[in-house]
Chain A
Amino acid sequence: MGSMAILLAALPIVAQEPVRNPHTTPADIEQGAKTFRSHCAACHGFAGTGGRGPNLTTGVFYRGGSDADLLRNISDGIEGTEMPALFYSPDRVWQVIAYLRSIGSGAGKVAGNAAQGQKVYASNGCAKCHRVSAEGGRLGPDLTSIGRYRAAGHLKQAIVAPNEDVRQRYWFVSARKGSQALAGFLMNEDTYTVQFMDMNENLRSESKSDLKEYKVEKVSKMPAFKLKDSDLDDLVAYLASLKGGSR
């Protein structure tokens, strides 16, 4: 009963005055960047665009995006994930948050028109290989929630120059097994075996000792699209708007 009273007494104060970051000057942002690079960049990338940890430049934070949420998650870590706790004082964490806001602001703002972009997506046959909300092919990455993970610039690059950044999952496997030619996208490989999705979306697992001319190419099988600037902007806008999924 006593604790209930305290809780009730505390609630209105929290509601009226949300926690705000008190350290947002350019000097704070600069110091926050230094702290970020020495402590956070190992997982979140040097520029915060993600790696082992999520991309922090999209403005979307899955575990809560308020200043209070970020202060808590950075200071205490996130249980059940690889995100560790920090021993920095709150001041230092606030500076990191200021830096995160500086790299996250403006992300997701794109020039094109998403509705038009959906048409560009359809007319260029993207759905042959990509899936959005369980519709489309499986050879390329599922794009249902790509707008959450990728900044607009990265999306644009992936369309016009797909070979610039080919994730290992999409490296191209080819081999001969007896008289049969095999080809597909790498899913897993070890010293003795390989698992891949073939061009008909069949899951295959082969022993390397059964294969001849076995090759893994670090190239994208996605064509480099040469679109009109306006179509490209629209397509990027469409992709950036895809924020579905249950995560």
Chain B
Amino acid sequence: MKRLACAVFLAGHLLAQVTYDRLLNAEKEPGSWLTYSGRYEGWRYSPLAQVTRENVKNLKVKWVHQMPTTHLVETTPLVADGVMYVTEPPSNVAALDAATGKLFWRYRRQYPPKINVCCGQVNRGVALLGDRVFVGTVDAHLVSLDAKTGDVLWDVEVANYQHGYSVTVAPLAVKDMIIVGIAGGEYGIRGFLDAYDAKTGKRRWRFWTIPGPGEKGNETWSGDSWKTGGGSTWVTGSYDVAQNLIIWGVGNPSPDWNGDKRLGDNLYSDSAIAVDADTGQLKWHFQFVPHDLHDWDAVQVPILVDDEFQGTRRKLVYWAHRNAFYYALDRTSGKFLLGKPFATQTWAKGLDPNGRPIRLPNIDPSPEGTYVWPGVQGATNWYSPSYNPLTRNFYVSAWENRSVYRKGDQEYTPGNRFIGSVPLIELPDEPGHGAIRALNPRTGERLWEYKLHTKPWAGVLTTAGKLLFGGSDEGYYFALDAETGKELWRLHTGGVIRSNGISYTANGKQIMAVAAGSAIFTFELP
């Protein structure tokens, strides 16, 4: 009896641990949502199929969790063992009963008085590993919390927030490490990707996204411009388990709209990078926009798929980039395989055989302003795409818009904006519009689109029910048929949706969850 009780206790205890093995096999427990994108391949796909194209019209609100915040909510909730972990901006964390939304605990951070982040004091979510929760903070720390109590276990400085560094990205747990990126591409930071020991908070490695003197790639920065070259890493990447590679997107070079003092390609800004998970050593890179002058970060979630590609079975990366081109890359080498516009663009004649853009004339920012499609916020941005293994399609929230790009003088002062003038991001007479688009990822061909009046800042989720869930700034959360794009359900949440949805189960029933306004909304069938 004693032994049995002990075994039950142990099993319960072990079950409440988010082990690395569970992260590796996330697709085998579809009732949880254990990492930012749901699985290491970055698919944002739920294998749950209780909600179908036939019954989705009956989805009703299950519970709502209102956050005590005035900041934009961009969080992706994680769910493990009946508990939902969400960040509440700036960088607080709440643990909720995933079945009812009731609060177990809340971590409230104390913030310094001056925090400069380019685009809001936001946070995109936590990482889970063992019995711990990990959160990055706007004052550029990484914090480890006890998953049961929210108590702080360690709190380490990632970088100096007074020099424009911040952490808004959801960290990624890999093996016994926490991988975390940095934001600050509008403040002249020198970007990096870090790995920390999950137990101690000690840094294991740092990959500088802007190479220093003597390192390969430093020659792509004129003068000392590498010191303030940007290259942020503010959106969670993916992990190729078989190759032990962390594949991550790198942000814009600094200053954004004036490249006169950073002549060269500016590696590894606007690139996909693949680094060894144990050492942080670079295995390959692919730069989408050499010497970027338009703020077109490569901050999209890499989607890793093994599939037939032009007659050969390949390890692939699918990537719809902010610059309006969709790319397929070989994941063993970073080799360019395919590139095709998925939205209107007026800056490149096309891509050469290596994937390097062939630029059109008169597209650079100018003192008087230059009109270019896509606009500063891109044809897509940080919000997640999705890959559905049943349809084998790639799904993306897309923008049709242009901006006026201006160029101005810029000198670097620590902690302040370092951007090189200010573009007209939004053209009041020409607000543009948005769409959800389905692509055949093996050809880049558009299969369907669902038009939106406004430009969505929300990612997409697809499910084994062959449904796509997406949101809009208008406040609607909607479900489309993933095969046709036909709208099957929508609900007005009353707040902007600037986040990515997930799906999980509570009491055996499939639940859809998404952050909208200052709240987490959940939906289930009656």
Complexed CA–CA distance, A39 and B255 (Å): 12
Partner of B428, one of A41, A42, A168: A168
A22 CB within 8 Å of chain B: no
Q: Which residues on A sit within 8 Å (CB–CB) of B454?
A: 190-191
Binding stretch for chain A, among B75-83, B292-300, B350-358, B416-424: B416-424
Q: Which residues on A sit within 8 Å (CB–CB) of B474?
A: 190-191
Query: Is the CB–CB distance between A39 and B451 below 8 Å?
Result: no
Contacts A87-B416, A88-B413, A191-B453 given; does A38 touch B422 at CB 8 Å: yes
Complexed CA–CA distance, A230 and B227 (Å): 59
Q: Which residues on A sit within 8 Å (CB–CB) of B113?
A: 76, 85
Query: Is the CB–CB distance between B114 and A87 below 8 Å?
Result: yes
Complexed CA–CA distance, A38 and B365 (Å): 14
Partner of B408, one of A38, A76, A84, A168: A38
Contacts A46-B422, A191-B452 given; does A87 touch B116 at CB 8 Å: yes
Q: Which residues on A sit within 8 Å (CB–CB) of B411?
A: 34
Complexed CA–CA distance, A2 and B169 (Å): 48
Which chain B residues (471-511) contact chain A, with CB distance < 8 Å? 472, 474-476, 490
Complexed CA–CA distance, A38 and B409 (Å): 8
Could you tell me the dominant secondary structure of chain B's interface residues? loop
Query: Is the CB–CB distance between A38 and B428 below 8 Å?
Result: no
Contacts A85-B114, A85-B116, A218-B429 given; does A191 touch B413 at CB 8 Å: no
Contacts A34-B408, A38-B408, A38-B410 given; does A87 touch B162 at CB 8 Å: yes
Number of A-B contacts (CB under 8 A): 64
Q: How far is the CB of B370 from chain A (nearest CB, A)?
A: 14
Query: Is the CB–CB distance between B408 and A37 below 8 Å?
Result: yes
Query: Is the CB–CB distance between B453 and A38 below 8 Å?
Result: no
Partner of A191, one of B416, B417, B420, B451: B451
Q: Which residues on B sit within 8 Å (CB–CB) of A34?
A: 408-409, 411
Residue of A nearest to B473 (CB): A190
Q: Which residues on A sit within 8 Å (CB–CB) of B451?
A: 191
Partner of B417, one of A38, A167, A190, A192: A38
A210 CB within 8 Å of chain B: no
Q: Which residues on A sit within 8 Å (CB–CB) of B116?
A: 84-87
Q: How far is the CB of A92 from chain B (nearest CB, A)?
A: 7
Residue of B nearest to A75 (CB): B114
Complexed CA–CA distance, A42 and B120 (Å): 14
Complexed CA–CA distance, A85 and B416 (Å): 10
A189 CB within 8 Å of chain B: yes
Contact flags B411-437 to A (C-beta < 8 A → 1, else 0):
101111111111001001101000000
Could you tell me the dominant secondary structure of chain A's interface residues? loop
Query: Is the CB–CB distance between B419 and A191 below 8 Å?
Result: no
Query: Is the CB–CB distance between A39 and B476 below 8 Å?
Result: no
Q: How far is the CB of A74 from chain B (nearest CB, A)?
A: 12
Complexed CA–CA distance, A41 and B257 (Å): 14
Which of A34, A46, A87, A218 has its CB near the most chain B CB atoms (within 10 A)? A87
Query: Is the CB–CB distance between A46 and B452 below 8 Å?
Result: no
Q: How far is the CB of B364 from chain A (nearest CB, A)?
A: 18
Q: Which residues on B sit within 8 Å (CB–CB) of A166?
A: 429
Q: Which residues on B sit within 8 Å (CB–CB) of A42?
A: 422, 425
Complexed CA–CA distance, A192 and B474 (Å): 10
B406 CB within 8 Å of chain A: yes
Contact flags B424-461 to A (C-beta < 8 A → 1, else 0):
01001101000000000000000000011110000000
Query: Is the CB–CB distance between A38 and B420 below 8 Å?
Result: yes
Contact flags B260-287 to A (C-beta < 8 A → 1, else 0):
0000000000000000000000000000
Q: How far is the CB of B482 from chain A (nearest CB, A)?
A: 19
Residue of B nearest to A191 (CB): B453
Count residues of chain A with CB under 8 A from any CB of chain B: 23
Q: How far is the CB of B225 from chain A (nearest CB, A)?
A: 17
Q: Which residues on A sit within 8 Å (CB–CB) of B476?
A: 190-192
Q: How far is the CB of B382 from chain A (nearest CB, A)?
A: 19
Q: How far is the CB of B338 from chain A (nearest CB, A)?
A: 31
Complexed CA–CA distance, A88 and B419 (Å): 15
Query: Is the CB–CB distance between B409 and A39 below 8 Å?
Result: no
Contacts A41-B422, A190-B474, A191-B474 given; does A87 touch B408 at CB 8 Å: no
Query: Is the CB–CB distance between A46 and B406 below 8 Å?
Result: yes
Q: Which residues on A sit within 8 Å (CB–CB) of B425?
A: 42
Query: Is the CB–CB distance between B422 and A87 below 8 Å?
Result: no
Complexed CA–CA distance, A236 and B267 (Å): 54
Complexed CA–CA distance, A191 and B433 (Å): 10
Residue of A nearest to B369 (CB): A46
Q: Which residues on A sit within 8 Å (CB–CB) of B422?
A: 37-38, 41-42, 46
Contact flags A58-86 to B (C-beta < 8 A → 1, else 0):
00000000000000000011000000111
Residue of B nearest to A52 (CB): B426
Complexed CA–CA distance, A84 and B474 (Å): 26
Q: How far is the CB of A181 from chain B (nearest CB, A)?
A: 23
Complexed CA–CA distance, A38 and B428 (Å): 21
Q: How far is the CB of B160 from chain A (nearest CB, A)?
A: 11
Q: Which residues on B sit within 8 Å (CB–CB) of A192?
A: 476, 490
Contact flags B282-318 to A (C-beta < 8 A → 1, else 0):
0000000000000000000000000000000000000
Query: Is the CB–CB distance between B114 and A37 below 8 Å?
Result: no
Q: How far is the CB of B319 from chain A (nearest CB, A)?
A: 27
Complexed CA–CA distance, A77 and B116 (Å): 11
Query: Is the CB–CB distance between B417 and A39 below 8 Å?
Result: yes
Residue of A nearest to B257 (CB): A38
Which chain A residues (171-203) contact chain B, with CB distance < 8 Å? 189-192
Complexed CA–CA distance, A168 and B115 (Å): 33
Query: Is the CB–CB distance between A87 and B413 below 8 Å?
Result: yes
B residues apposed to A, CB below 8 Å: 113-116, 162, 406, 408-411, 413-422, 425, 428-429, 431, 451-454, 472, 474-476, 490
* Given A38-B408, A85-B113, A168-B428, 19 new contacts (CB under 8 A): A37-B421, A38-B409, A38-B421, A42-B422, A42-B425, A46-B406, A46-B422, A76-B114, A84-B116, A85-B114, A85-B115, A87-B162, A87-B413, A189-B453, A190-B472, A190-B475, A191-B451, A191-B454, A192-B490
**What are 20 A-B contacts with C-beta separation under 8 Å?**
A38-B410, A38-B422, A41-B421, A46-B422, A77-B114, A85-B113, A86-B116, A87-B116, A87-B162, A87-B413, A87-B414, A168-B428, A189-B453, A190-B475, A190-B476, A191-B451, A191-B452, A191-B453, A191-B474, A192-B476
Give 6 nearest A-B pairs by CB, closest first.
A87-B415, A190-B474, A85-B114, A191-B453, A41-B422, A42-B422
A residues apposed to B, CB below 8 Å: 34, 37-39, 41-42, 46, 76-77, 84-88, 92, 166-168, 189-192, 218
